[in-house]
Amino acid sequence: FMFMWPKTRKEAFLRIGTTIIFSTVFGPLLVVALRSWWPGLFDAARDIAAMYGVDPALGVVFIAAPVLVLAGLPAWWVLGAFVRWFGRREDKDIGELARDAAAIIRNARGGA
């Protein structure tokens, strides 16, 4: 959030909505992947929840909640970058936008 604040209220709602959608779709997949890769983390979270007298199943939330947020953050940044990129080119037609995008890709690949 620190790097790319929205410039308008419409952009803010669009980016927040997209972030929530990405968190909802990709967050659970990321939690499952993390659980497969590092099962001891979730076991430790259950133990810590039980140690504090909370339902051990709630320990999964201690791990899953930050992962769900992290799954949505790239959407916030990528959508912000697209909004800014299109905003700088709002007076161009689709062909000019395509040429600009092709030039950016060529420069990223190191071509002339």
What tokens does 12 get? 């803010």
Determine, yes or no, domain membership for 42. Answer: yes
Cα(60)–Cα(48) distance, integer angstroms: 10
Determine, yes or no, domain membership for 1. Answer: no
Predicted structure pTM score? 0.63
pLDDT tens across 19-42, in order? Answer: 899 999 999 999 999 999 998 999
Confidence bin at 73 (pLDDT 50/70/90): confident
Determine, yes or no, domain membership for 80. Answer: yes
Determine, yes or no, domain membership for 4. Answer: no
pLDDT reported for residue 112: 55
Confidence bin at 53 (pLDDT 50/70/90): very high
Determine, yes or no, domain membership for 2. Answer: no
Determine, yes or no, domain membership for 78. Answer: yes
**Mean of the per-residue pLDDT values for the chain?**
86
Determine, yes or no, domain membership for 77. Answer: yes
31, 63 Cβ separation under 8 angstroms: yes
Query: Could you give the 3-state DSSP secondary structure of residue 90?
Result: coil
Determine, yes or no, domain membership for 98. Answer: yes
pLDDT reported for residue 1: 44
Cα(28)–Cα(20) distance, integer angstroms: 12
Q: What is the largest CA-CA distance in the chain?
A: 63
Q: Where in the sequence is the domain holding 21, given as residue range(s)? A: 9-109
The number of folded domains in the chain is: 1
Q: What angle do CA 95, 106, 102 make, to 5 degrees?
A: 15
Of 4-8, 28-32, 106-110, the poorest mean pLDDT is in 4-8
